[in-house]
């Protein structure tokens, strides 16, 4: 479904991703694990058209998407959920979710997806008219994931959903992701620690100084 | 008492038009953090276009002129964004660069107007004559009409921002640009849209005020400065803030002009601005930090 082939990404002349390659098959939950500052977010942003790549290829559903920007990719079903949430703080929970369905394709499924998000997170239904700037960290992460789902993704790229969350909240969040995957959503997830993802992942890559390597899920503790 | 009421009403009617100019400036700032220094020159441009169509050549009625000029102003806004703002995006020092190019644009428009129409001032006859007298208070029908039109414009903008998809997208871009990208919003398109609306608003205000104040090539700097003070007082990027601030300052202005003298109007505005900023550095309704 997604094939990343030797991409290189830079911030000015700082080389972050070095010939990074990875593959995600339809229906899989694939993880990328690595420590702080090793290029995990850059990898997901580069795939999702939020930061440019200098060289290399990216294919999604068989077509070449390297160089396309996020607005075009969202329409194709490739959606990014940011580690820093990136909610619209002075808008309500409902407005944030509605904006997930901004593009025509997602708008057609808006009603259905909104019901889905609210049944996944009844708490968001209760707080639909609350401004996002006043949400707790856990609730904000629910909106971030919910907004991603509103875009009607076929592949959801989730960046460190555990960031800033208490361990029990992280656990619930990851269980939700796993459930979404079992229901048919393809997921590419990035985390620092794989401990909580154990048993959910199909395949795992490690990232170190911008170099990606596929690793055995059984040995993943050694990676960290 | 009647005197005071009359001054108050004069201030309120004036405030509504200031508000139109100010929300236009605020809209662009909110979405793109660009302070458009050509905003006042575009106000003059609206006034001159209308003057030409009404009094200069074709001799059309003012209401028709407003309808004709509307799309011209919108396209001018889109053109400005496309031609001089977008190429700068992502450049280093983009903020300073946008100040320089919009300032340059202001000079180009002013000199263009001067070249075409000459340096003199112009005026347009109001589209309604006469005035309304109630309980000893007199107000011209024209001032009353531009008050209503201005409120309608600001109300329409508020409705657009709060209740439509594109309006939501404008607010999304202003609150988190990366977030907007993530949900598929074409940020360039939204910038173009805010410039179009902004130029329409300031241009229409220039037309509406042409019968009250005069139109002149350099006459846009006072409205620009006033809009700027309103926007800063209200809180940068806040439409609600601009609305409230416009009325506060216009009423203040009406009283100062009557009791102290017209030349004290601007100093009074600036004094008010300084006092409010000392108490609330983000302005009355400012929420965004940069
Ligand atoms: N916008 C930017 N400009 C310049 N350098 C950046 C930028 N964003 C990230 N970097 C640098 O690029 C490197 C990789 O950053 P990235 O955010 O991809 O890492 P990460 O693995 O996601 O880290 P974390 O676990 O902290 O989220 C880091 O050294 C970071 O400092
Ligand atoms: Mg990161």
Q: Is the CB of A40 under 6 A from ligand 1?
A: yes
Does residue B290 belong to any structural domain of this protein?
Answer: no
Instruction: Please name which of A49, A44, A59 lies closest in space to residue A3, comparing C-alpha atoms.
Output: A59
**Structural domain count of chain A:** 1
Does residue B285 belong to any structural domain of this protein?
Answer: no
E-strand ranges in A37-130 read 55-60, 63-64, 78-81
Q: Which residues in chain B touch residue A79, judged by CB atoms under 8 angstroms apart? A: 182
Ligand 1 pocket test target in A16, A48, A160 with most atoms within 8 Å of CB: A16
How many CB atoms are closer than 10 A to CB B55? 16
Q: Find residues 94-113 of chain A whose CB sits inside 8 Å of chain B.
A: 95, 98-100, 102-103, 106
Instruction: Please tell me what DSSP assigns to residue A122.
Output: H
For β-strands A55-60 and A2-11, DSSP reports them as: antiparallel
The H or E element spanning position B30 is: helix B2-32
- Contact A5/A26 with Cβ under 8 angstroms? no
Is the confidence at residue B176, as pLDDT, over 50?
yes
- Alpha carbon of B286: minimum distance to chain A alpha carbons (Å): 12
Q: Mark yes or no for CB contact A103/B171 under 8 Å.
A: no
Question: How far away, in angstroms, is A217 Cα from ligand 1 center?
Answer: 25
Does residue B91 belong to any structural domain of this protein?
Answer: yes
At residue B81, the pLDDT reads 96
Does residue B284 belong to any structural domain of this protein?
Answer: no
CA-nearest residue, atom 30 of ligand 1:
A37
Determine contact: A164 vs chain B, CB below 8 A: no
Per-block mean pLDDT, blocks of 10 residues, chain A (224 long): 92 90 94 91 95 92 92 95 94 96 94 95 95 93 96 96 88 92 94 84 90 77 50
d(CA B13, CA B143) in angstroms, rounded, equals 7
Q: Which of A50, A74, A99 sits opposite B172 (nearest CB)?
A: A99
**Structural domain count of chain B:** 1
Strand partners, B122: B215
d(CA A143, CA A117) in angstroms, rounded, equals 9
Q: What CATH number does the domain containing A92 carry?
A: 3.40.50.300
Is the confidence at residue B177, as pLDDT, over 80?
yes
Q: Which residues in chain A touch residue B181, judged by CB atoms under 8 angstroms apart? A: 50, 69-71
Q: Which domain holds residue A72?
A: 2-218
d(CA B145, CA B103) in angstroms, rounded, equals 33
Q: Is the ipTM of this complex over 0.95?
A: no
Place of tokens 């593959």: A23
Q: Which atom of ligand 1 is nearest to the CA of A45?
A: 18
Instruction: State whether the Cα torsion A70-A102-A100-A74 is positive or negative.
Output: negative
Q: Look up the pTM and report it.
A: 0.91
For the residues B121-126, what does the mean pLDDT come to?
A: 89
Does residue A99 belong to any structural domain of this protein?
Answer: yes
Q: Which atom of ligand 1 is nearest to the CA of A38?
A: 21
For the residues B236-248, what does the mean pLDDT come to?
A: 90
Q: Which domain holds residue B98?
A: 2-279
Is the confidence at residue B14, as pLDDT, over 70?
yes
Q: What CATH number does the domain containing B189 carry?
A: 1.10.3470
Q: If 0-12 CB within 10 Å is exposed, 13-18 middle and 19+ buried, where does residue B188 land?
A: middle
Does residue A10 belong to any structural domain of this protein?
Answer: yes
At residue B290, the pLDDT reads 39
Does residue A224 belong to any structural domain of this protein?
Answer: no
Does residue A223 belong to any structural domain of this protein?
Answer: no
């Amino acid at each position: 479904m997604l094939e990343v082939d030797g991409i290189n990404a830079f911030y000015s002349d700082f080389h972050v991703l070095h010939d990074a390659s990875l593959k995600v098959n339809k229906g899989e939950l694939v993880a990328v694990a690595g420590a702080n500052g090793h290029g995990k977010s850059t990898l997901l942003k580069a795939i999702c058209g939020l930061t440019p790549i200098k060289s290399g290829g990216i294919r999604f559903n068989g077509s070449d998407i390297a160089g396309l920007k996020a607005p075009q990719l969202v329409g194709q079903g490739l959606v990014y959920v940011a580690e820093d949430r990136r909610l619209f703080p002075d808008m309500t929970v409902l407005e944030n979710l509605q904006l997930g369905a901004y593009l025509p394709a997602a708008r057609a499924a808006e009603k259905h997806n909104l019901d889905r998000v609210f049944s996944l997170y009844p708490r968001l239904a209760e707080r639909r008219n609350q401004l996002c700037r006043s949400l707790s960290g856990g609730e904000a992460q629910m909106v971030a994931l919910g907004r991603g789902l509103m875009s009607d993704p076929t592949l959801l790229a989730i960046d460190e959903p555990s960031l800033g969350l208490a361990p029990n909240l992280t656990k619930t969040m990851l269980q939700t992701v796993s459930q979404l995957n079992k229901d048919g959503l393809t997921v590419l997830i990035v985390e620092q620690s794989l401990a909580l993802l154990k048993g959910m992942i199909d395949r795992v890559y490690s990232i170190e100084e911008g170099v990606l390597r596929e690793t055995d899920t059984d040995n993943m503790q050694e990676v960290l | 008492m009647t005197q005071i009421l009359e001054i108050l009403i004069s201030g309120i009617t004036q405030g509504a038009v200031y508000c139109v100019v100010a929300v236009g400036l605020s809209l662009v700032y909110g979405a793109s953090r660009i302070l458009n220094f050509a905003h006042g020159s575009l106000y003059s441009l609206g006034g001159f276009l209308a003057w030409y169509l009404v009094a200069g050549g074709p001799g059309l009625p003012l209401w028709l002129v407003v309808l004709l000029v509307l799309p011209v102003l919108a396209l001018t806004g889109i053109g400005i964004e496309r031609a001089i703002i977008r190429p700068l995006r992502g450049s280093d020092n983009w903020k300073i660069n946008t100040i320089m190019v919009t300032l340059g644009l202001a000079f180009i428009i002013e000199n263009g107007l001067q070249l075409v129409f000459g340096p003199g001032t112009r005026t347009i006859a109001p589209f309604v004559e006469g005035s309304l007298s109630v309980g000893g208070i007199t107000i011209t029908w024209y001032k009353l009409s531009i008050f209503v039109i201005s409120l309608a414009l600001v109300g329409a903008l508020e409705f657009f921002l709060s209740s439509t998809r594109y309006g939501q997208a404008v607010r999304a871009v202003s609150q988190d640009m990366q977030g907007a990208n993530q949900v598929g919003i074409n940020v360039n398109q939204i910038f173009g849209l805010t410039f179009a609306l902004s130029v329409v608003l300031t241009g229409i205000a220039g037309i509406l005020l042409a019968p009250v104040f005069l139109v002149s090539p350099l006459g846009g700097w006072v409205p620009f400065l006033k809009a700027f003070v309103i926007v800063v007082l209200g809180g940068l990027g806040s439409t609600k803030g601009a609305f409230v601030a416009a009325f506060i300052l216009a009423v203040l202005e009406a009283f100062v002009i009557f009791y102290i003298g017209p030349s004290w109007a601007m100093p009074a505005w600036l004094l008010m601005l300084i006092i409010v900023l000392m108490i609330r550095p983000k302005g009355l309704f400012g929420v965004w930090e940069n």
